[in-house]
A and B are shown apart, each in its own frame.
Chain A
Amino acid sequence: MSIEVRIPTILRPHTKNEKVVTGEGETVDALFTDLDSRYTGLRARVVTEEGALHRFVNIYINDEDVRFIGGLEAKLADGDSVTILPAVAGGM
């Protein structure tokens, strides 16, 4: 089980400036626990102490926003790609 994770610029200090890292886990929650063992502090930037996603962080499995498919409990499959992005205003 290998999940590719895209890291936004603002979080790269946690990943030794790597843009893309790989991790493992059956769920988004497990994936961030796994990543945090190698990239210390990454999980806390994304997940609150109460165990929810930070308000201004969006996480996608492939193209799907995880908030609509189970949040941190959203299931991962081998070969999935996870993207972390800061919330920005779209065009208007």
Chain B
Amino acid sequence: MNRKLTRNILEFAGITLSIFFLIPLVLVLINAAKSNNEITMTPLALPGNWINLFKNIATIWASPNVGYQKAFFSSVVVTFFSLAGITISSAMAAWVLVRTKSKISTFLFFMFVAAMVIPFQVVMFPLVRWFSILQSTFGIQLLRSYTGMIIAYMGFGCSLSIFMFHGFIKSIPIQIEEAAYIDGCGKFKTFFLIVLPILKPIYVTVLILNGIWIWNDFLLPMLILGKGTDVQTLPLAVSNFAGTFLKSWDLMMTAILMALIPIVIFFILGQKHIIKGMVEGSVK
């Protein structure tokens, strides 16, 4: 009897808390299907007509003030290439750092790890200046470009990623690689054909951790791309839009909803891996 009571209380608590947790997101959904007037009058009511939702989505989709399609495309490009860069370069570095026993490799590993404590605020302004110096000296477009964004994410992302790969590679027996050498594999072949496939559980984690960070990041794209320029990521685009349209809550809600959709779908599809990956990344 007592047991059953506790269980009912717990279940009640669970449902109440979930409602509290999900209310903000539900509010976005129902208000994205209303006109501005309806939102001001009855922000809590269900929309009179869900058709409005699609109308609003179509408006935002085509609106030059948001540039949703372009921003979505830019976010995908930046995230995809940064992730590829981070994962491969960090796995390569971590592998030779583990397999080479020397003072240099210990020092380099320490340096990568130590950099994790430096807050972004310390390097952000000099980074922009440094990029603009490089840009004017060598003529490589780093500011307002994908190249600059991807290099920046590789530089910031490699610390944690190398650290995670390093820990895992240490536990792989070296005999597997030695067998590959005897069979005549070179370093590259050994790495890409033998080592990389073994690293799968870690690179899934590395991809998730870095992917969510890069997809949502705001300050770095704001500094490197600038506001309202040609290349904008999704958070930047929404923030630009909010700057001028914050009072048109109907469009604002739809813009927010459309910024939410990709990441929420991604989360629902891969929640098990995502939760596990993000928690693993923190505990290490």
Q: Do the two shown chains form a genuine complex with each other?
A: no
Which A positions have Cβ atoms within 8 angstroms of B? none
